A and B are shown apart, each in its own frame.
Chain A
Amino acid sequence: MSKTKIIILSLALTVLFISGCSSSAQVQIDSQFPTVVSKPKPVNAAIVFSEEFTNYIASPNSKTRIDLGSAQTKLLSNAFAGLFSQIEFVSAATDVTFDNALVITPSVQEVQVSTPSDTYLNVYEVWIKYSLDIQTAKGDQVDSWFMPAYGKTPDSFMLSKTNAIEEATVIALRDAGAKLLLDFYRIPSVYNWLVTEQIPHKNSKRSSHSE
């Protein structure tokens, strides 16, 4: 082998080695989520998934990007379907067709990631902070509900950074669905709206599952 070929091969190997040490991660969440087991209440709701939300890409730090949009839209569509008997998904509040309904606009406030090199713990962690803007179909504000979700990997053994962040994000998204189903009807302002609208709210045992 000629000297030039050896140098090129050595350089290529060095580049490969260094790129293997790169700590950046581009994460695409493609997971499927299970259908929720829940009896919806007889409530109409319109869920506004804005373009920004459905295409959301989180950048928790300069080296990490998580393409969350599609996965969070699927997950929340599924979870909201377990809360309301009549539901429509729209891309803008102006498209809502219901007269008497809750209009819910979810948005992502912040996504945080921690890695073993940040915390010296043997796990990767992901926090997703959602905000649900809840209004009536007439435009009256009901609430703005902060909904945090958390996910972590069991450990970091043999996991690449990308796979570990993906796994933690999927767990965090599942946690968001759990939090929504568990706590939505416990929001005092939502409960009061149900009472005002005379919607039966004691038929379902959902809200008392975790008591």
Chain B
Amino acid sequence: MNRLLALGALILLAGCGATTTIDEYRPNNQMMDINSEQSVVILGRRDAGHYDTDREFIDCVASKMEGADIGVFPEQQFVDAIYPWFEPRTAPKGLKRLRRLMEDSAIKEKIERNGIRYLVWLDGSTETHDKGGSISCAIGPGGGGCFGFAQWEKSSIYEAIVWDLTNLTEKGRLRVDSSGTSYLLGVVAPIPLLTPVKNDACASLGTQLKQFFTVDQSQ
């Protein structure tokens, strides 16, 4: 009986795993050098009408990078330091505009003074769809409880584009596509079986992104 229960729990937990795919593009296999005085800034795209790349995801990717001794410059501090040129209305969408922006000596000086070598644009969102089932809870004088079953699917699609702010070139692109189904079982108490889709996307993207950089410890 115990084995049967354990097998059942294992099947349920296995069903909660997210499926994650990462596509990577790099124009060449050259590693990106970064020394201890330089840092990377991770910025979220905020110009789309129906979604914003959430700060929680950006912070998560930043923490993965910091874990690998790569200096990460805080997003809001960067946006404030060169206000208003990285606001949703003004942020460069392509290298052509970035090059034009960097022709301004005041902007270039701010970026250099803060030691920012690479800029990573993150664009994407996590969405919930295919909701199904129903669960209802009730409470009365004799006690309460929930009964039913609900499920929903989440998908996280994010793209990272790495720009070199010294050479003003694109160094690579990463796209992560993660999806999974979460369940809520109502067996007196509600039992959530959640698939960490966004966390999985963040961990995969962060790990892959770290491999782009070589930390030069000599300086």
Contacts and interface: CB of A to CB of B under 8 A. Distances in A.
B12 interface: no
Interface residues of B, number: 24
B89 A209 contact: no
Contacts of B83: 33-37, 174, 177-178
Which secondary structure dominates where chain A touches chain B?
loop
A51 B139 CA distance: 58
A42 interface: no
B54 A37 contact: no
Nearest to A149: B89
Contacts, number: 62
Given A37-B106, A38-B106, A39-B104, A210 B90 contact: yes
A156 B97 CA distance: 32
A154 B52 contact: yes
B26 interface: no
Which secondary structure dominates where chain B touches chain A?
loop
B87 interface: yes
Interface residues of A, number: 25
Given A37-B106, A179-B89, A182-B90, A208 B100 contact: yes
A174 B104 contact: no
Contacts of B212: none
Interface in B78-119: 80-85, 87-90, 97, 100-101, 103-107, 110
Contact of A209 (B55, B88, B100, B110): B100
A80 to B, nearest CB: 13
A174 B84 CA distance: 8
Interface in A169-211: 174-175, 177-179, 181-182, 205-206, 208-211
A209 B101 contact: yes
A37 B107 CA distance: 7
B32 to A, nearest CB: 26
Nearest to B93: A210
B100 A155 contact: no
Contacts of A79: 84
Contacts of B80: 34
9 contacts: A37-B85, A37-B104, A37-B107, A38-B106, A39-B106, A175-B89, A182-B84, A208-B100, A209-B85
* 3 smallest beta-carbon distances between A and B, as pairs: A178-B84, A34-B80, A34-B83
